[in-house]
Structure 1
């Protein structure tokens, strides 16, 4: 194995796609508790460009230069002395700690804590789409009371349903037995219907802007992935004990969440922060294996065109996990 690899890095906050630099750097060496993975596919998520923009400074990233990205599918090539559940040759899906990143490179260091074996029926592309988008969708729905034993029958609203989290959330909510209302643009209505949504709102129409369910149902659970939608927009359509999970953390939404907690209202508004767990990643991978969950991949880019993937993610109008970096031949 060569001692160096191709990687994409940036050296300071700001700059957007044009600040990404293609470099040849040493292949990282995993410590005793981690493993080295040859990356076959990786996906770029909105949180990646937000970290670059300095929205989470000074906590993230850990240091500069920084190799961004957290979602990979690949093959284990080396394991640390304390790694027991994985071995060289294993095909895996992994989430990399956001603080250190590392997915936009030919090799990455992964922790067994956030890694699962990739079923042979699941492609590298499908696997790389799962960690951030799939786990976030699953966490929001389960935190809102959804389970998969047939006992959930609530009404769920998913805003921004054509994005990475949204496309998974529609499918997972249907697996959980929910009645699903989804918002998206007119051009994506057929796609969201195919994923199982019961009702669809065009966000540009008057009804869509007011989030009024066509059947008149109030929402028991809301996953708000659309940054243009506020709690004030959602509240008139929220059930008396409805729960909202906000996926766009920022000063304004955090203030609204804090005030809402002080009011002791039965309606809940929470900021959702991903807490990655291998068992949930394994559940998602098995759903893909069984044909119950599918990745929506708009387009793929080689590592040499990482700037294009970054730009497409930042523009925010792409379908599903469209900002995928594909290493496989």
Structure 2
């Protein structure tokens, strides 16, 4: 069958290949037929061995990347309930599991939820992994649909896939949002509902941000021990409901460089030091690492099936365009999510 795979983790180049069809799904697994998928920034990194001591311990090749998809159920394994052949499903898989860049693939039941007609294939193709990461980041900051109204929120990296979904959710919940993005992406985040925009290169404007909650989805340059102006400003203001949450952690980089034990020890030390400093100022400080969650995935499917919810997909291309986009050194299509469909919508 057709798949897009990595055969050499030294280069991380994605290529179209022919591989054997997967076996029948094991217990608590689902076999799926791809309808559409997308690229997340972590995918090209994992393809080059990033985080391999945790994510690809056997250095298995060919490696099939892909974290999210919209797909159709082919077959269910023993113990699977709530799914049947022919159903459309929303997929969000961690980098530890098999990828979605194949005609047919098997995933654990926890990676899959059924979706209704209101959620389009194009939106679903880019929603799962980034959407769960966004939702889990909001939860780590203590935000939900029940309490976000009136809160002031800054989203750094708001024009990326995770940031765009977090923006849409927080706006839906009633938060007031400052989006930190490049100049060229300011129209995009305003369209999604940002109340204010700040150019990430404008140090004075960054320092003037007065939000009580910071979500950082941008990858900083240099050492994670370096100063972070958004965190420093929050610690200085010390709002009573303050929180700082980031998906940009040194965990995978540290284990790649130093191995599992030393890498986890190093990154754990950085985390404890920063969390302690934040606690002294009364600030909630959290790192977010993606985890599969059926309930949260079902919530995303419901929200983005609402016709009043803005789409976070900025471009849709044929599936054959996936390798060129994946291998582009400039990174995944942006702003928002670019998706790749088996059949043109």
SS at 1:39 equivalent: strand
Unaligned ranges ≥5, structure 2: 255-265
1: CA distance between counterparts of 2:192 and 2:148?
Answer: 21
TM (norm. structure 2) is 0.84
Provide, for residues 147-197 of structure 1, a one-character-per-residue CA deviation record: whole Å limited to 9, x for no partner: 212564321110111110111111111122211111112222222112111
User: Which residue of structure 2 aligns with residue 34 of structure 1?
Assistant: 29
1: CA distance between counterparts of 2:129 and 2:227?
Answer: 23
Within the alignment, does 1:307 sit opposite 2:323 as a pair?
yes
Q: Cα–Cα, structure 1 residues 270 and 254, in superposed 2: closer, same or farther, change >3 Å?
A: farther
Q: Which one is further off, 251-260 or 74-83?
A: 251-260
Unaligned ranges ≥5, structure 1: none
User: Which residue of structure 1 aligns with residue 215 of structure 2?
Assistant: 223
1: CA distance between counterparts of 2:160 and 2:148?
Answer: 28
Within the alignment, does 1:326 sit opposite 2:322 as a pair?
no
2: CA distance between counterparts of 1:318 and 1:151?
Answer: 27
**2:157/2:179 contact within 8 Å kept:** yes
Within the alignment, does 1:20 sit opposite 2:14 as a pair?
yes
Q: CA offset at residue 136 of structure 1?
A: 0.9
Q: CA offset at residue 9 of structure 1?
A: 1.1
**2:326/2:332 contact within 8 Å kept:** no
**1:94/1:131 contact within 8 Å kept:** yes
Q: CA offset at residue 308 of structure 1?
A: 1.7
2: CA distance between counterparts of 1:31 and 1:7?
Answer: 21
1: CA distance between counterparts of 2:207 and 2:328?
Answer: 27
**2:41/2:331 contact within 8 Å kept:** no
2: CA distance between counterparts of 1:76 and 1:180?
Answer: 38
1: CA distance between counterparts of 2:95 and 2:148?
Answer: 35
Within the alignment, does 1:135 sit opposite 2:132 as a pair?
yes
Number of residue equivalences: 317
1: CA distance between counterparts of 2:194 and 2:105?
Answer: 37
Matches within 5 A, 1:226-305: 226-228=218-220, 232-238=228-234, 239-240=237-238, 241=240, 242-250=242-250, 251=254, 256-263=270-277, 264-265=279-280, 266-305=282-321
Q: CA offset at residue 96 of structure 1?
A: 2.5
**2:93/2:292 contact within 8 Å kept:** no
- RMSD (CA atoms): 2.3
User: Which residue of structure 1 aligns with residue 258 of structure 2?
Assistant: none
User: Which residue of structure 1 aligns with residue 260 of structure 2?
Assistant: none
1: CA distance between counterparts of 2:29 and 2:249?
Answer: 30
Provide, for residues 272-291 of structure 1, a one-character-per-residue CA deviation record: whole Å limited to 9, x for no partner: 10122111111111111113
Q: CA offset at residue 317 of structure 1?
A: 6.8
